[in-house]
Amino acid sequence: MDLVQGVYHENSTSAKENHITEDIGISTWKKQTFLSHGALLAKSCQAAMELAKHDADVQDMAFQYGKHMAMSHKINSDLQPFIKEKTSDSMAFNLNSAPIVLHQEFLGRDLWIKQIGELRETIKAGKGVTSAIDLCRYHGNKALEALESFPPSEARSALENIVFAVTRFS
């Protein structure tokens, strides 16, 4: 349940138009990260101790181990684009990763929003947006081609309409 809730929250946050300027703070980041990355490991460790018939204190310590190990692993993963010796330009990072959330907290909301706005304008002025639109339409056309193998039906029309909706940018 926690994993589903965490992924749902991540996706609903990402779907918001201005999610990159959301002031989530590190405490919210920790909660979201635990739900989407740590709960499964924590509860699995706890369950292993329960199955081995250990008492509640041992089960809780196993839960704590799993929780903190998962959090540590996620932070390590978030840090990699910023600390690797030979970071490639293509190494992706998430604007909701731990270093960026902490950077936002230390920098202050107003300056953070200004920096993100400048980055957004730089990207809009380049060819990335138009190229991404072209790529989206390419994959949309490939999806439509795949649908052609199915007989015409209401279901096929509905799936085609979904493609049309996600490839329209006006």
Can you give the three-state secondary structure of the chain, one letter per residue?
Answer: CHHHHHHHHHHHHHHCCCHHHCCCHHHHHHHHHHHHHHHHHHHHHHHHHHHCCCCHHHHHHHHHHHHHHHHHHHHHHHHHHHHCCCCCCCCCCCCCCHHHHHHHHHHCHHHHHHHHHHHHHHHHHCCHHHHHHHHHHHHHHHHHHHHCCCCCCHHHHHHHHHHHHHCCCC
pLDDT of residue 5 exceeding 60, the answer is no
pLDDT at 17: 47
Instruction: State the Cα–Cα distance between residues 15 and 27, nearest whole angstrom.
Output: 21
Mean pLDDT in residue range 12-25: 57
Mean pLDDT in residue range 37-59: 94
Provide φ and ψ at 41, rounded to 5°: -65, -45
Q: Residue 128's CB: how many other CB atoms inside 10 A?
A: 11
Contact indicator for 41, 70 with CB cutoff of 8 Å: yes
Nearest Cα neighbor of 99 from 33, 42, 169 is 33
pLDDT at 128: 86
Instruction: State the Cα–Cα distance between residues 131 and 103, nearest whole angstrom.
Output: 30
Q: Which domains does the chain have, with CATH numbers?
A: 1-167 (1.10.600.10)
Q: What is the pLDDT of residues 97-117, one digit of tens each?
A: 899 899 999 998 889 889 988
Instruction: State the Cα–Cα distance between residues 139 and 145, nearest whole angstrom.
Output: 10
